[in-house]
Amino acid sequence: MSDAERLPPEDSAVVRVPHPPLTQYYADEHGRRDWVRAIFDRSAVDYDRIERLMALGSGSWYRRQALLRAGLAPGMRVVDVGVGTGLVACEAVRVVGAGSLVIGVDPSPGMLSSARVPAGVTLCEGRAEALPLPDACADFVSMGYALRHVGDLSAAFSEFRRVLRPGGIACVLEITYPENRSHALLLKAYMRGVIPALSWLIARHGDTPKLMRYYWDTIETCVPPAQVMATLAHAGLEDARRHVEAGIFSEYCSRRPA
């Protein structure tokens, strides 16, 4: 664990795409969105099983503690962006106290159909860059491990600000490439080698191992934390900061000005 890092220097670059096009999977940035949605659709039936396998501490307890550290409290209204199968949304319900207070948004119909969430949670199809929600409808916006799959971070964070009420909190959980070279090599061996290999043994769909390789490749090429925080600030979210657990689990937090 490290102390929270505050907003980086003013010369940190604001970013739109979270990583360069990975042309071994799709031709260019134009094709990225359709490819990503399709592979998540096809692999959704395996996602929870594989997530438990590769958790490395990012299980339900960690997700709940991260939400609490960010300021989630009972009674808050939550929008969980990139809800997937509902792993973060489930923990949000445990904190806020009612499923009716949580809305999950995801671009993948396959992930939404595989979601297992408490009664009352609303699930809807939509992209982070164009949330299908009214202005100022949430006290808290979360995104769990989906930052690397967003096409335009600047647009997504602007949407976070739009749907937050004044004073509302944005919390983005992400896996960050380790600064320590030895740790980076070990993590790559595990997530780029071991996890895809094990996926071949337990997955129901043949694309799941490819999704796991892609998952690591997006971690390895993702923009650095300073640029994520600079982009949050540029979108009008203040007090951008980053808390780190185990050297790899980043918790980016900021809020809409009151």
d(CA 241, CA 126): 27
pLDDT at residue 1, as a whole number: 41
The DSSP code for 130 is: B
Q: Whole-angstrom Cα distance, residue 226 to residue 247?
A: 15
Digit-coded pLDDT (tens) for 135-155: 999 999 999 999 999 999 999
Count other Cβ atoms within 10 Å, centred on residue 89. Answer: 30
Query: Tokens 């949430």 label which residue?
Result: 138
CB 169 within 8 A of CB 71: yes
Q: Supply the Cα-derived Rg of the chain in whole angstroms.
A: 17
State the pLDDT at residue 160. 98
Instruction: Report how far Cα 7 is from the mean position of its chain's Cα atoms.
Output: 20
Task: Quote the tokens at residue 140.
Answer: 């808290």
**Which of 213-240 are b and which e, b meaning 16 or more Cβ less than 10 Å from the residue's Cβ?**
bbbbbbbeebbebbbbbbbbbbbebeeb
Q: Going along 44-137, which residue ranges are E strands?
A: 78-81, 102-106, 122-125
Query: Is 96 strand, coil or helix?
Result: helix
Q: What pLDDT, on a 0 to 100 scale, did the predictor assign at position 57? A: 47
Listed residue (85, 130, 93) closest to 111, CA to CA: 85
pLDDT at 195: 87
Pairwise CA distance, residues 230 & 199, whole Å: 36
Domain ranges of the chain: 2-179+209-255
C-alpha span between 49 and 211 (Å, rounded): 13
How would you classify residue 6: left for phi > 0, otherwise alpha for psi between -120 and 50, otherwise beta? beta
Q: How far is the C-alpha of 233 from the C-alpha of 241, rounded, in Å?
A: 10
Superfamily of structural domain 2-179+209-255: Vaccinia Virus protein VP39 (3.40.50.150)
How many other C-beta atoms can be found within 10 angstroms of the C-beta atom of residue 180?
A: 11
Please give the pLDDT value at position 205: 78
Q: What is the pLDDT along the chain (258 residues), one digit of tens a residue?
A: 445 676 554 546 899 999 999 999 999 988 999 999 999 999 999 888 888 777 654 588 999 999 999 999 999 999 999 999 999 999 999 999 999 999 999 999 999 999 999 999 999 999 999 999 999 999 999 999 999 999 999 999 999 999 999 999 999 999 999 999 999 999 999 888 888 888 888 877 788 889 999 999 999 999 999 999 999 999 999 999 999 998 999 999 999 999
